[in-house]
């Protein structure tokens, strides 16, 4: 039986794989495991803007309250807001209903512990065990049943927290902002304006079905065009649950998560504020990031793909900064999880403090040519046992050696296999990656 929890909670097509029935059982199991011995446990629940969110919220709340825990509903908020509010409001756990950057038909349920951190594997396994084998004990009745408590003030608490964490003065700065019709739609423009910026915002009118649709951090063409059209100093694009950021300089050029790690990390290094002179990044990060840090006297701890592995390395090594090329960045001194809006403020702070445009700041990191292809597949199971795929990967690795590298892995959140190659010769790496992608499609691809 495949593990229910993936790299970022439980994901699936809403009402097909991630059903209300499953959400109910997850809520009940989560409340039983994460109640921390409280006589009246409190679970904070938030969601993004996708249409299935309220359906799953209702089922999840039923599960939580049926176990005797109170459900605090904060409505539509970014994922990092749930992490922050769980700890700030002294809840036993937090739950976010979101599929992040995935299409609208998908959704997900991810849990946060009382300290605002995502759950370790062993705790997820405890919840999963109760999902498959629910206990037969008596359920709470009467006054012991959990209550539903509305907390509409939650979003404003998060907004105030970010403004106080990074009180950068943005007077005179013009920002083009893409909210992905998601959870950032209300709070991101308000935060930037409260700090003094002039904000031109797009894709901030969610209707339940337009989240991530040709917008946001995975579809940056519209914010690139907006930056140039309005003459903005910087463009910022978030994803559906606002835990990511991709930036755009005034020319319309992309400044991705690796660049942001370099800009913010090297500044901390120069200021003597980077513990152990290291940051954490994944195997998918550009080799230029490592080169930039080593030339400056620092280094990069390389982890497996996925923000949970970045966080694991940061906690183990005592680091304060880590992230992914996709724009999921963790500033551990300020947040327990990736926060796209916080990351935007940190980047803007460097721009203000140095007086340098984003284009110039991004030059601190050389960029090695990369090619990334996502291949939709019928099944991700046992993909690496296919002899034709193994042969194609081996041949590509030989082509890219000794100066390049190749990574092939199944996505933890989508039915795709990701192939990433890196090499100083762009044509060579693109050809090698395409050949592997073609073989995976031939063997496992969706027609």
> Any long-range contacts for 426-432 (C-beta under 8 Å, 24+ apart)?
426/369, 426/371, 428/399, 428/400, 428/404, 429/369, 429/370, 429/371, 429/400, 429/404, 430/369, 430/371, 431/399, 432/371, 432/396, 432/399, 432/400, 432/404, 432/406
Candidates 3.40.120.10, 1.10.3720.10, 3.40.225.10, 3.40.50.2020; CATH matching 157-253 = 3.40.120.10
Residues 6+ apart with CB under 8 A from 190: 159
Residues 6+ apart with CB under 8 A from 363: none
pLDDT at 17 over 70: yes
Q: Are 110 and 56 in contact, with CB atoms under 8 Å apart? A: no
Burial of 430 (0-12, 13-18, 19+ CB in 10 A): middle
pLDDT at 46 over 80: yes
Cα(186)–Cα(336) distance, integer angstroms: 22
Give me the residues paired with residue 248 across strands.
235, 254
% of residues, the chain, pLDDT over 70: 100
Task: Give the CA dihedral 33, 42, 49, 327, nearest 10 degrees.
Answer: -70
Cα(361)–Cα(392) distance, integer angstroms: 39
Per-residue pLDDT tens for 230-274?
A: 999 999 999 999 999 999 999 999 999 999 999 999 999 999 999
Cα(93)–Cα(47) distance, integer angstroms: 15
> Residue written as tokens 């004990």?
137
Edge-to-edge strand list for the sheet holding 234-237: 198-202, 174-178, 234-237, 246-248, 254-255
The secondary structure of the chain in percent helix, strand, coil, rounded to multiples of 5, reads 40, 20, 40
The ranges assigned to domains in the chain are 10-152, 157-253, 255-339, 370-444
Active site residues: 100
The torsion region of residue 186 among left (phi > 0), alpha (psi -120 to 50) and beta comes to: alpha
Per-residue pLDDT tens for 369-428?
A: 989 999 999 888 888 888 999 999 999 999 998 778 898 989 877 889 999 999 989 999
> How many CB atoms lie under 10 A from the CB of residue 447?
5
Cα(244)–Cα(186) distance, integer angstroms: 16
Instruction: List helix spans (H) across 35-120.
Output: 53-66, 79-88
- Alpha-carbon torsion 249, 350, 317, 162, what sign? negative
> How many CB atoms lie under 10 A from the CB of residue 120?
11
Which CATH topology does 255-339 take?
Answer: Alpha-D-Glucose-1,6-Bisphosphate; Chain A, domain 3 (3.40.120)
Per-residue pLDDT tens for 63-114?
A: 999 999 999 999 999 999 999 999 999 999 999 999 999 999 999 999 999 9
Two domains, one topology: 10-152 and 157-253: yes
Per-residue pLDDT tens for 300-311?
A: 999 998 888 999
> Residue written as tokens 């790690």?
261
pTM of the predicted structure, to 2 decimals? 0.89
Cα(376)–Cα(415) distance, integer angstroms: 6
> How many CB atoms lie under 10 A from the CB of residue 139?
11
Per-residue pLDDT tens for 327-338?
A: 999 999 999 999
At 143, list the tokens: 């006054």
Give me the residues paired with residue 18 across strands.
14
Which CATH architecture group holds 370-444? Answer: 2-Layer Sandwich (3.30)
Top-level CATH class of 10-152? alpha beta
pLDDT at 1 over 60: no
Residues 6+ apart with CB under 8 A from 419: 371, 372, 373, 374, 375, 406, 407, 408, 433, 436, 437, 440
Residue 299: predicted pLDDT: 96
């Amino acid at each position: 039986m495949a593990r229910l929890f993936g790299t970022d909670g439980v994901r699936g097509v809403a009402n097909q794989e991630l059903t209300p029935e499953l959400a109910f059982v997850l809520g009940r199991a989560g409340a039983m495991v994460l109640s921390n011995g409280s006589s009246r446990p409190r679970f904070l629940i938030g969601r993004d803007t996708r249409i299935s969110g309220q359906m799953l919220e209702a089922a999840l709340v039923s599960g939580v309250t049926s176990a005797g825990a109170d459900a605090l509903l904060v409505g539509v908020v970014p994922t990092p807001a749930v992490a922050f509010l769980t700890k700030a409001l002294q809840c036993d756990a937090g739950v976010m209903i979101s599929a992040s950057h995935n299409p609208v038909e998908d959704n997900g349920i991810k849990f946060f512990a009382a300290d605002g951190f995502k759950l370790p594997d062993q705790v997820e396994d405890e919840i999963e065990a109760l999902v498959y084998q629910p206990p037969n004990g008596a359920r709470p009745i009467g006054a012991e049943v959990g209550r539903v408590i509305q907390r509409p003030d939650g979003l404003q608490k998060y907004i105030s927290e970010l403004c106080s964490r990074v009180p950068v003065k943005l007077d005179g700065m013009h920002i083009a902002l893409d909210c992905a019709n998601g959870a950032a739609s209300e709070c991101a423009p308000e935060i930037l304006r409260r700090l003094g910026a002039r904000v031109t915002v797009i894709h901030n009118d969610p209707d339940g079905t337009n989240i991530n649709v040709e917008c946001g951090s995975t579809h940056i063409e519209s914010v690139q065009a907006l930056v140039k059209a309005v003459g903005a100093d910087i463009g910022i694009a978030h994803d559906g649950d606002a835990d990511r950021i991709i930036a755009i300089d005034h020319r319309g050029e992309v400044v991705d998560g690796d660049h942001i790690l370099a800009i913010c990390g090297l500044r901390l290094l120069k200021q003597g504020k980077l513990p152990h002179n290291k940051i954490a990044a994944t195997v998918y990060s550009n080799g230029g990031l490592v080169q930039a840090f080593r030339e400056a006297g620092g280094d990069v701890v390389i982890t497996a793909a996925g923000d949970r592995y970045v966080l694991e390395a940061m906690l183990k090594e005592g680091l304060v900064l880590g992230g992914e090329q996709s724009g999921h960045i963790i500033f551990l001194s300020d947040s327990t999880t990736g926060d796209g809006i916080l990351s935007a403020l940190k980047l803007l702070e460097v721009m203000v403090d140095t007086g340098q445009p984003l284009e110039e700041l991004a030059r601190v990191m050389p960029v090695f040519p990369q090619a990334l292809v996502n291949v939709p597949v019928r099944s991700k199971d046992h993909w690496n046992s296919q002899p034709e795929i193994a042969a194609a990967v081996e041949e590509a690795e030989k082509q890219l050696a000794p100066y390049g590298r190749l990574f092939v892995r199944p996505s933890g959140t989508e039915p795709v296999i990701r192939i990433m190659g890196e090499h100083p010769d762009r044509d060579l790496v693109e050809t090698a990656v395409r050949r592997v992608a073609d073989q995976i499609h031939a063997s496992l691809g969706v027609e």
